[in-house]
Amino acid sequence: MTSPLKTPDTDPPGWLERRLPVMSLLRRQYVAFPMPRNLNALWSFGAFLIVTMAFMIASGLFLAINYTPDITQAFASVEAIDRQVPSGWFIRSLHMGGVTMLFACLYIHIGRSLWYGSYKAPRELLWLTGLGLMLMVMVTAFAGYVLPWGQMSYWGATVILNAVHAIPLIGQPLSELLLGGDTLGNVALHRLFVLHFTMAFAILGVIALHVAALHVVKSNNPSGVDPVNPSQTLPFHPYYTSRDGFALCLFLMVYAGLVFFLPDLLTLADNYIQANPLVTPRDIRPEWYFAPFYAILRAVPSRLGGLLLASGSLAVLFVLPWLDRSTIRPATRRPMVRLSLPLAFAAFILLGIAGMHAPTPAWLLASRVAIAWWFIHFLLVMPLASEREMSS
């Protein structure tokens, strides 16, 4: 007696899963994924960054549809978005507020990694991809800052491009590649628009790489000791999804307050004036998230020297896993680092405040002191602390 033939349509449940195991992968990586039990609220900022990036891309697509990358029409097109396009003011405020929230969360996220030693082995690649994301976000934000073609956009970009031009050998070709000529004009604006648009999607790819690296080496935790048995972990869902969901509600309340009640904090007043290459603003100031690096540029009389120090302030972070060879991760268990790192954080904040003020002798002195301590911490204190801890 022969059994009836089975067709693919009569297969038992799990037909798709056996051929494309997406659901089991998602369940394994985002539901049952083991997380340390002792994570604190600072670990929620990674989720804030992903949600904010989603808002940025969604609102950016809408703005790109209504924006005209032409120096004679760019400012007017932004004004039209604010005043004539239905809900355009809200979408633009969402985008501008997103930049502020993105950088705030990014700096806190990196500061948390520094405090708890999340850059140490085996998480070096996780750290490097995170820093790469920070640089990509900075480039994207710079390109986007020029697009409204306001006074501060134009002159802020001019300062940065002049600094780039001072780099030996590659400075002039690089600035010409960005500008397409001798000064900011139609070609430069169009190229910056394309750069801003495409970099956003490149960031999504690196975020995927960053998350993949996290799921390979697992998350660090405040104690700095990796869990060794299941009793020291909790599944990501429902424990951390519910906690991050509650934290995200608080985060979105702050985001909404910024968008609806404090829109004047999102940009400088001079940027509501159309760019005029013949009129230099009395005080060129960047947005707050670029202010620390702008303060470094101003603190050094040489344009090249300022650019090298500003670049070096980020470069030391890339080599930190090799500067700090101690096996102890959290700063709370490292006496020298526990004293030095908060001063480095304070130096970064001081640079940000200095960058938002006129370059008076007092602010220039404060900037130079802050720069000195930033490099002393990473280039001197961290290696010395490592040697001391490894020898004890």
- What pLDDT digit, counting tens, does each position of 375-387 carry? 999 999 999 999 9
Quote the CA–CA distance of 241 and 145 in Å, as a whole number: 34
At 176 the pLDDT is: 83
In the chain, the amino acid numbered 3 is S
Q: What dotted CATH number matches 37-224+232-281?
A: 1.20.810.10
Where do runs of H (alpha helix) occur along the chain?
15-19, 22-30, 45-66, 74-83, 88-115, 124-146, 151-165, 171-179, 186-217, 241-261, 291-299, 303-318, 320-323, 335-355, 361-376, 382-391
At 1 the pLDDT is: 47
- Which residue numbers belong to the known binding site for a ubiquinone? 215
Q: Give which of 101, 181, 186 is closest to 137, Cα–Cα.
A: 101
At 12 the pLDDT is: 56
At 13 the pLDDT is: 57
Quote the CA–CA distance of 376 and 374 in Å, as a whole number: 6
Cα→Cα distances 168→162, 305, 354, Å: 12, 11, 28
- Which residue numbers belong to the known binding site for heme b? 95, 109, 196, 210
Cα→Cα distances 21→15, 206, 208, 211, 238, Å: 10, 23, 19, 19, 22
Q: Are 291 and 268 in contact (CB under 8 A)?
A: no
DSSP 250-298: HHHHHHHHHHHH-GGGGS-GGGGSB--TT---SS----GGGHHHHHHHH
Domain positions in the chain: 37-224+232-281, 285-392
**3-state SS, residue 112:** helix
User: Which residues does the chain have with pLDDT short of 70?
Assistant: 1-13
What sign results for the dihedral spanned by CA atoms 281, 283, 288, 294? positive
In the chain, the amino acid numbered 206 is V
At 88 the pLDDT is: 95
Question: What secondary structure letter does DSSP report for 34?
Answer: E
**Residue 269: how many other CB atoms lie within 10 Å:** 10
The Cα angle at residue 49 between residues 47 and 50, in degrees rounded to 5: 65
Q: Per the structure block, which two tokens stand in for 317?
A: 């972070």
Equal fold, 37-224+232-281 vs 285-392: no
Size (the chain), residues: 392
Quote the CA–CA distance of 200 and 16 in Å, as a whole number: 33
- Which residue numbers belong to the known binding site? 95, 109, 196, 210, 215
Average pLDDT, the chain: 92
Topology of the domain comprising 285-392: Helix Hairpins (1.10.287)
Q: Are 297 and 159 in contact (CB under 8 A)?
A: yes
